[in-house]
């Protein structure tokens, strides 16, 4: 609804602008009847545009009422044709020498203009729907510029043909000016201003760079304008100066305003995402207090029955539970504690795979510095995923884990074979708190300070994480 409101405001502004230009430029060369007819001519085109974009398209085509939409479009076509024909007849009443409108209408002189107007309106609406569809997809800088260019070019051509029926010079001024305005705006917003900001240039230096660049950029547009309209050189420089005077400071202001809004939205998203990630993580855990009490009982029973491997496994699992109970909810913990937790988890898994010669588990985990901190539970999901999907008691399996710290950076690699679960396996599709949860936490806790590479083939899975800790 907001987009439709902006659309109608822009269309109305352009409509009023054209009316003012028509009446100011041609007032001395036309009768009152001709002036009214020409104004009505533009008003009919404006009415056709508003009727289709604000009523026919949203009320029928968007709701899949295709038959009704096509019927009303044909009705709009004939109404526009009749209206334009009447305006042309009134304007040229003395030259065409036909005293009645019904004698003039069969000549079909405005039929081509009507077809052009309706075709341009349909093209505009199609481009708008295509852009809206593209907005639902992943948007990059290239796609954004492409979408904006399509809108500007389509709108410029539409207005150009309308103005061409009124005044050739006015059409040339519009087409060259609006295209140059967007190109200058895009160049400033997407390249020059970000480059100046990276190099910490002040606004004055930005203007010194932008002025000659804007003039060089205007040359092809200005040459088109002069050649199309046969205008003189002063008008060439006047058009460049007026556009430059508005676009350069406006693009600088809009860029920084948009940047501030993006920073604010990112901050809010980070705060909301942190809560969501923490909630997802907590929901993924079974009550640690309950499990810890049960583990103490099982550990005592295993010692009584002299099941040393079972007792060792229960003890390591208890250490894992202590970590989750006492340290997991902190914002940062010592890297040494995270490494210890990782080793306990691997040792616990090795108790299960030690008797299987077809399973190879290699891990190189260096000791961490005592003064280094990290967010808890960032590394274990990758190892958990490796043991879950990389181990098979029937086929050869392997897991390789490497972790070391150097110059304030943490380097973590997990490389494992893959054994797909069957469709009937209840564990299929589940992997602890999930890799997606970890990606989300990394993006929020270490923005711009981490590199996560995940590659997967039919036979192996590879994870590389570089984390800037200081």
Strand 397-406 and strand 359-365: pairing? parallel
Domain boundaries, the chain: 2-273, 357-468
Residue with the bigger pLDDT between 204 and 287: it is 204
User: pLDDT at residue 185 above 80?
Assistant: yes
Residue with the bigger pLDDT between 204 and 101: it is 204
Mean pLDDT lowest for which of 229-233, 367-371, 409-413?
229-233
Q: What pLDDT is recorded for position 452? A: 93
Long-range contacts of 437-445 (CB under 8 A, 24+ apart): 437/277, 437/280, 437/281, 437/284, 437/381, 438/378, 438/381, 438/382, 440/273, 440/276, 440/277, 441/277, 441/375, 441/378, 442/378, 443/273, 444/270, 444/273, 444/274, 444/277, 445/375
- Show the tokens assigned to 430: 């589940």
Average pLDDT over residues 204-229: 78
> 357-468, what's its fold?
Heat Shock Protein 90 (3.30.565)
Average pLDDT over residues 173-199: 81
Average pLDDT over residues 119-124: 78
Q: How many Å apart are CA 74 and CA 384, to the nearest integer?
A: 64
User: pLDDT at residue 286 above 60?
Assistant: no
pLDDT in tens, 108-118: 667 777 877 88
* Total Cβ atoms within 10 A of residue 410: 22
Mean pLDDT lowest for which of 36-45, 223-232, 301-310, 421-430?
421-430
Q: What pLDDT is recorded for position 450? A: 92
Planar angle of CA 52, 87, 160, nearest 5 degrees: 60
Q: How many Å apart are CA 336 and CA 379, to the nearest integer?
A: 12
User: pLDDT at residue 15 above 70?
Assistant: yes
Q: How many Å apart are CA 113 and CA 106, to the nearest integer?
A: 15
Residue with the bigger pLDDT between 281 and 6: it is 6
Q: What pLDDT is recorded for position 30? A: 59
Specify whether the CB–CB gap between 370 and 334 falls below 8 A.
Answer: yes
| Extended strands (E) in 266-408 | 333-334, 359-365, 373-374, 397-406
Specify whether the CB–CB gap between 196 and 209 falls below 8 A.
Answer: yes
pLDDT in tens, 71-109: 898 899 889 988 888 887 777 665 555 567 676 666 666
Residue with the bigger pLDDT between 183 and 224: it is 183
pLDDT in tens, 55-74: 898 888 888 788 788 889 88
Q: How many Å apart are CA 389 and CA 396, to the nearest integer?
A: 13
Q: State pTM to two decimals.
A: 0.40
């Amino acid at each position: 609804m907001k987009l439709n409101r902006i659309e109608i405001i822009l269309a109305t502004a352009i409509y009023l602008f054209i009316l003012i230009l028509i009446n100011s430029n041609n007032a001395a060369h036309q009768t009152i009847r001709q002036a009214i007819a020409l104004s009505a001519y533009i008003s009919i085109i404006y009415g056709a545009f508003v009727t289709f974009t604000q009523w026919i398209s949203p009320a029928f085509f968007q709701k899949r009422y295709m038959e009704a939409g096509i019927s009303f479009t044909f009705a709009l076509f004939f109404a526009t044709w009749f209206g334009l024909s009447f305006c042309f007849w009134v304007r040229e009443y003395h030259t065409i020498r036909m005293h009645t409108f019904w004698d003039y209408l069969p000549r079909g002189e405005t039929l081509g203009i009507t077809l052009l107007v309706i075709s341009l309106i349909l093209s505009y609406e199609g481009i708008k729907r295509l852009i809206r569809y593209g907005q639902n997809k992943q948007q990059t800088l290239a796609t954004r510029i492409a979408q904006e260019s399509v809108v500007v070019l389509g709108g410029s051509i539409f207005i150009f043909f309308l103005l061409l029926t009124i005044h050739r010079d006015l059409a040339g001024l519009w087409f060259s000016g609006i295209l140059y305005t967007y190109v200058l705006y895009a160049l400033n917003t997407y390249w020059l201003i970000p480059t100046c900001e990276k190099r910490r240039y002040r606004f004055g230096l930005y203007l010194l760079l932008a002025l000659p660049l804007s003039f060089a950029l205007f040359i092809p547009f200005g040459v088109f304008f002069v050649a199309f309209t046969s205008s003189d050189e002063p008008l060439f420089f006047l058009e460049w100066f007026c556009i430059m005077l508005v676009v350069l400071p406006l693009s600088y202001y809009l860029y920084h305003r948009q940047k501030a809004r993006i920073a604010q939205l990112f901050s809010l998203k980070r705060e909301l995402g942190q809560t969501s990630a923490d909630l997802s993580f907590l929901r993924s855990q079974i009550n640690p207090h309950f499990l810890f009490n049960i583990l103490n009982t099982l550990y005592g029973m295993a010692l009584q029955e002299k099941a040393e491997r079972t007792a060792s496994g229960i003890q390591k699992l208890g250490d894992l539970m202590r970590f989750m109970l006492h340290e997991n909810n902190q914002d940062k913990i010592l890297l040494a504690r995270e490494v210890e937790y990782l080793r306990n988890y691997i040792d616990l898994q090795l108790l299960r795979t030690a008797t299987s010669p077809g399973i190879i588990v290699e891990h190189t985990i260096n000791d961490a510095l005592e003064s280094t901190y990290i967010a808890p539970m960032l590394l274990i999901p990758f190892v958990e995923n490796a043991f879950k999907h990389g181990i098979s008691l029937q086929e050869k399996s392997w897991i390789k884990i490497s972790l070391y710290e150097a110059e304030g950076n943490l380097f973590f690699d997990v490389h494992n074979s893959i054994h797909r679960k069957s469709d009937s396996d209840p564990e299929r599709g589940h992997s602890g708190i999930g890799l997606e949860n970890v990606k989300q936490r990394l993006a929020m806790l270490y923005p711009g300070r981490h590199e996560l590479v995940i590659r997967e083939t039919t036979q192996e899975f590879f994870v590389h994480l570089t984390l800037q800790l200081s």
